[in-house]
Amino acid sequence: MSRPMSQSAGRRPPNILFLMVDQLTTQALPFHGHPVVQAPHMTRLASEGVVFDSAYCNFPICAPSRFSMLSGRLPHTIEAWDNASEFAAGTPTMAHYLRAAGYRTILCGKMHFIGPDQLHGYEERLTTDIYPADFAWTPDWLKGPSHRPTGVSMRPVLEAGPCLRSMQIDYDDEVEYRGAQCLYDLARAPGDKPFFLTVSFTHPHPPFVSPQKHWDLYRDEDIDSPRVPPIPFDQLDEHSRWLHIAHAQDEYTVTDADVLRARHAYYGMVSYVDEKVGRILQVLKETGLDRDTVVVLAGDHGEMLGERGMWFKQCFFEGSARVPLVVSMPGRFAPARVAAHVSLVDLLPTFLEISQCAVAPVDRLDGRSLLPLLSESEPGTDRTVIAEYSAEGVCAPSRMVRDGAHKYILTRGLPPMLFDLAADPDELHDLAGRPEHAELQRRLHARAVEGWDPEEVHARILHSQRRRLFLAEVAAGSPGQTNWAYQPFVDESKRFIRGSGAAGPTSVKARARFPFVPPVQPDRKP
């Protein structure tokens, strides 16, 4: 039976509140079965909305995942190779299309844009970003996996624990404040336009440091160990060996106590960002904006969290590639769980359909609208997910195909991998090369190389790296180099009472009150 649709014909499209969290793995969420982690606000949102149980990012690292999601296109089509790839200003995004549909588009928080365009269709941006906007983090595959432009190592795991403040706490506290304030402003001065507000937090991205308040939510004895213990180096697949070296795991000793402390901190970080999400949702409800707003919660990629002895992301195992995705609008979408495979590139066509955008996409989109799944009009069994990886930590491009119960991973120059996740959810038994799976492997391989030639993509990536490394070297230390980091602007002339006149200050004060109360008129003549 189809879910009820509350929007009547001729009514303006609903607002869209897009909540993003960074490096949030489904394996650490209560609404995906974790028995210890406390995330009541996200759990409540999930209970009221549609939860996608098999949602994937299209690139398991920050910037390319976001670029792909915003454009609705697979990463290689927009040259989103790594965390230092420029996101071209000529690439249309969901923000552009929603503006064309009459939306007011606002970004608050992290998006990791690289390049001089730090808006990409958003009309307003309320905060700066948290990571570099230039080419400083360009990988160099010619130097092998030990080359670490971001300085990643096992230190975040070994240094995990509670803290009073951190750079990330400073950042997300500001994102929460400005996101909530934006909702208040939208409620106090409603216009004719619906809004598309993206509020994007950086937690629970490492380092693994949690506010003491949220650390104390968990007892040491309650922290669970990884399901899959560390796999010896000589038994790892080559991609995992690359990451072992790239993360300097051969240079540090990580004990069981270190693992549990890092997981403890991560759980606290999840609870911390859940509190932030809860605050935004509270303001949405308090202002009454929730009655006409679709809320979407998503992560950009996951976190391995010690499974298989692996940390961070950068691979296609479930902990890294699978992401939370919830869509909620009570009265329009009935609560449900969706088993179909979907991915973040599906969000742009979904938003286009929700917004009733009359502008046809100017580029071929790789995503498919989720609205049929939200309305139960499509079983979704034929959906296939494609993901790519070509960033720091590896030396060749990779591609993943998720189809039915199976996952196929192809890396240039390496043996492919094939897993049956129905029978082997921990991805421990590689079926590639077995005669009984030859036809399945042939079919999935054909899908993996469809429009993606490993040799051609590899050459493009190497050329891109050489160009960006040259430009970064030339710019290094140059006093005249323009900083692409976004500088938020606040027009103080339009805040508070900044003018004079008998009527001005009084009327400003009255309008600033929410809910609005008409000014009391004199009941006696002077």
3-class SS of residue 197:
strand
* Nearest Cα residue to 262 out of 222, 301, 311: 311
| CB 116, CB 89: distance < 8 Å | yes
Convert 126-151 to b/e letters by CB count within 10 Å (16 or more is b): bbebbbbbbbbbbbebeeebeebbbe
Q: In the structure encoding, which two tokens stand for residue 408, read together?
A: 């196929």
- Report the run of H or E that residue 132 belongs to, with start and end: none
Catalytic residues: 62, 112
3-class SS of residue 372:
helix
* CA dist list (Å): 341 to 20, 35, 215, 335, 353: 20, 24, 34, 18, 19
Q: Taking the C-alpha atoms of 354, 358, 362 and 366 in order, what is their torsion angle to the nearest 10 degrees?
A: 30
Please list the residues that pair with 18 across neighbouring strands. Answer: 198, 296
Torsional sign, CA 468, 471, 473, 479: negative
Q: List, in sequence order, every beta strand (DSSP E) within 347-397.
A: 384-389
